[in-house]
Homo-oligomer: A and B are copies of this chain.
Amino acid sequence: MKRCLIIGAAPVSGALLEQFSGREKDYIICADGGYQSAVDAGLRPDLVVGDFDSMERPKDAGVEILQVAAEKDDTDMMLALKEGAARGYEEFVLLGSLGGRLDHTVANLQAVAWGLERGLFVMLADENNLVAMLRGDSAGVPRLEGYYLSLFSYSEQCRGVTVRGVKYPLEDAVLTQAFPLGVSNEIVEREAFLRVEEGTLLIVMSREA
């Protein structure tokens, strides 16, 4: 299955776009202002979703355009994700989704949760952070040089949280949403093993900028 890259309006470097757009068959959606980031990086999106309120409608005849109302319940990023899901994609990477306005960063965390509820894998990425969620499931997380691994309960509680292959392992622990246990762990093996039996685990990998 092809992966869907969504490029949002938050700052995104050409280097990051290059890093993630290497897979030739990826489907690329730009959410409104993200179109300029793509063009600047020499990428040609497959689809541009936006209200074209703050930016001009793209003139490139080869790019499909989905124009939406300026006053809407969804953010442009969310509309792009929904459109990608409607087109059958199940794996998403959202670039230009972090590091801009905090309200948009939080909205994009909710977009990850929205995907999870529908069985979609959604990851947020910028130069120094990777974000994903896991619910009632297990996963391996590869060690990335210089990155810390932090785990949070996104649901009110996470039960049966196990983390192995890290400096501070956990076995069958309970995390709550009102207590930031699990910040700045370090993966010490080739990959960490994560499991959460109940609840939604928010996984953040960050490094110093």
Contacts and interface: CB of A to CB of B under 8 A. Distances in A.
Given A128-B101, A150-B107, A183 B114 contact: no
Interface string A168-188: 100000000111110110000
- How many protomers of this protein does the assembly include? 2
B73 A181 contact: yes
Contacts of A156: 155-156
B204 A106 contact: yes
A4 interface: no
**Which of the four size classes fits the interface of chain A?**
35 or more
Interface string A69-100: 00101110010000000000000000000101
Interface in A53-75: 71, 73-75
Given A177-B110, A178-B113, A102 B78 contact: no
Contact of A102 (B107, B129, B181): B129
A209 B205 CA distance: 24
